[in-house]
């Protein structure tokens, strides 16, 4: 019996250390990494109190296929849209002068950078190209297959060919998701 329990514990340990997680970095780290190896940036714009943000973390960013794809093709940034960090973007500094430490886990003042990105709801996933130009924000919870569409659209630069809603609709209708519903062991 002890052997079975010990084997089960060892198996859980091995699974937990081999589980794929997204390599989150700060925005400044992503900018520095881009100088060495250009990649697009995916930014999870979230708040501490947002329920759908937590589901996005657990169900979508916790998905092995999503994590693998993001780690191979993007620099991933988490940005608290109501936090008190300082962000420098294109020689401009953004802060949150209205931040209230006593509201850290409740609604707080929006960060200047989230306003600059025109974030109007949480979660929002902002995509940037290799030259740090924002491609677009994607608002709302995305399951793994929904996010896969955008990850591949932006990675392959197909979005540059889309000049109308009709072009996007054709891409959307033809898109065949391949990401499964498998979650990492930590979920």
Average pLDDT in the 109-120 region? 94
**Angle of the 64-73 helix axis to the 144-155 helix axis, nearest 10:** 20
Average pLDDT in the 61-66 region? 97
- Tell me the whole-structure pTM to 2 decimals: 0.84
Q: pLDDT above 70 covers what percent of the chain?
A: 86
122-174 pLDDT per residue, tens: 999 999 999 999 999 999 999 999 999 999 999 999 999 999 999 999 999 99
Among 2-6, 102-106, 119-123, 177-181, the range of highest mean pLDDT: 119-123
Closest CA to 78 of 116, 38, 48, 109: 48
Closest CA to 50 of 95, 114, 98, 134: 114
Beta carbons within 10 angstroms of residue 73's beta carbon: 16
pLDDT tops 70 at residue 182: no
Structural domains in the chain, sorted by start: 20-174 (3.40.30.10)
Lowest mean pLDDT among 1-15, 59-73, 146-160: 1-15
DSSP secondary structure of 102-120: GGTTS--PPPHHHHHTT--
In this predicted structure, what is the pLDDT of residue 181? 63
- DSSP H or E segment with residue 42: strand 40-46
Residue 182 · residue 65 · CB < 8 Å: yes
């Amino acid at each position: 019996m002890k052997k079975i329990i010990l084997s089960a514990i060892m198996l859980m340990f091995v699974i937990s250390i081999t589980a794929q997680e997204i390599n989150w970095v700060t925005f400044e780290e992503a900018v520095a990494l881009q100088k060495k190896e250009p990649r697009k940036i995916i930014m999870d714009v979230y708040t501490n109190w947002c329920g759908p943000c937590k589901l996005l973390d657990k169900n979508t960013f916790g998905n092995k296929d999503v994590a693998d794809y993001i780690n191979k093709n993007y620099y991933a940034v988490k940005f608290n849209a109501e936090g008190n960090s300082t962000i420098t973007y294109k020689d401009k500094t953004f802060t949150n002068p209205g931040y209230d430490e006593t509201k850290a886990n409740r609604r707080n003042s929006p960060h200047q950078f989230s306003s600059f990105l025109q974030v109007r709801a949480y979660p929002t996933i902002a995509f940037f190209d290799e030259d740090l130009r924002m491609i677009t924000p994607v608002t709302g919870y995305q399951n793994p297959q929904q996010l896969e569409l955008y990850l591949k659209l932006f990675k392959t630069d197909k979005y540059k060919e889309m000049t109308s809603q009709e072009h996007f609709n054709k891409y959307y209708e033809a898109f065949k998701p391949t990401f499964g519903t498998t979650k990492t062991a930590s979920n």
